[in-house]
Structures are given as structure tokens and as C-alpha cells.
Structure 1
Amino acid sequence: MAQFKNSEHLVKAGVPAFDKEWMPGQKVPNAGIYRCKTCGDEIVVHKDAAIPQIHHEHTVLGPVTWKLLVFAQKHPSRP
């Protein structure tokens, strides 16, 4: 589970980017922390990079499928 110390650096957002599921080898449009939907393992993926093909596998649990947990903003909006 992703952890943080200072909540003032995070903003809750209900954007569709958090709903998409990604398979190993697919390129992602958002840099951030991705969580395996099956086992909860987490990885960091750079913007426009592919989810690693051989990060880990499940023999019993099912396929490795990733969802965006936290994404990074290059230029966060300022008040």
C-alpha cells in the first residue's frame, strides 16, 4: 500500500485515469505508482513507458493486471 507523510502534497481526484486496467507491456500515459489488482504489489512507471513484461507472475491468483494508484504532475496547478 502506498504511503505518504504530508497530505498537503496530495489531491483526491476522481479522474478516469484511475479506472483503466493495464496489462504487462502496455504503455501508460501517466507517470505514477501502479498497483497489481490481483496481489497488491506496487511499481513506479514513467510517463509513456511500458508496464514491465516480467515483473512478477501469479500461478494461482490469476493474471497480472495493473491500475493507477497515484499519478505525478509535471506542473501542478497553483492557486
Structure 2
Amino acid sequence: MAYYTDNSKFDKITNPSDVWSKQFGPAETVPASGIYRCIGCKKEVTSNKGDKFPPQNHHQHATSAGPVKWQMNVWTNTEGK
């Protein structure tokens, strides 16, 4: 889980793009830089736009956790906009 402080310097997105709700498989191209959480086991990775998500063998799940699928948890504003 990503942790943060309650600090007014942080911006809240009021109209998030589709990248927040989409899920991405192992080795797919990262659409936006950020912290992504595996929906099955809750492990997180930091990934840069244009790179690939970790491959399938990055970590293994128990059968009950389902497939490895990454979903954006924190967007990192690397463009300064």
C-alpha cells in the first residue's frame, strides 16, 4: 500500500483518466509513470511510462489470488504539468 501524509501540497485529481481503472498484464507497456498495485496480492511496483510491467515470473500468487494484474495506485507527475 502506498503511504502518504495529509498535506495540502498534494493535488487531487477530480476527473481521472481511464488509466486509473484499467488493469494491465505482465510485460505490457506502462501507459503512465506511477505506482501500480497487483490486484491479486497487493504487491506494488514503481513503473515508468514506456517501460514494461514486470514479467509473469516477477512474483507468484497462490491460486486463490488470481492472475497478476497491475492497476494504477499513485500517478507520478514526471512531466511537471
Which of 50, 56, 61 is matched with 1:58 structurally? Answer: 61
Q: In the aligned structure 1, how far is the partner of 2:30 from the partner of 2:75?
A: 11
SS of equivalent residue, structure 1 residue 17 = helix
* Structure-2-length-normalised TM-score: 0.81
Deviations 1:20-54 (A, max 9, x none): 10000001121110000111111101111100102
- Per the normalisation by structure 1, the TM-score is 0.83
Aligned residues between the structures: 77
RMSD: 1.6
Aligned to 1:3: 3
Deviation at 1:9, TM superposition (A): 3.8
Equivalent-residue separation in structure 2 for 1:9 and 1:29 (angstroms):
25
Is the 8 Å Cα contact of residues 33 and 78 (structure 2) preserved in structure 1? Answer: no
Structure 2 residue ranges without an equivalent (≥5): none
Runs of 4+ more than 4 Å apart: none
- Gaps of at least 5 residues in structure 1 are none
Percent of paired sites with the same residue = 31
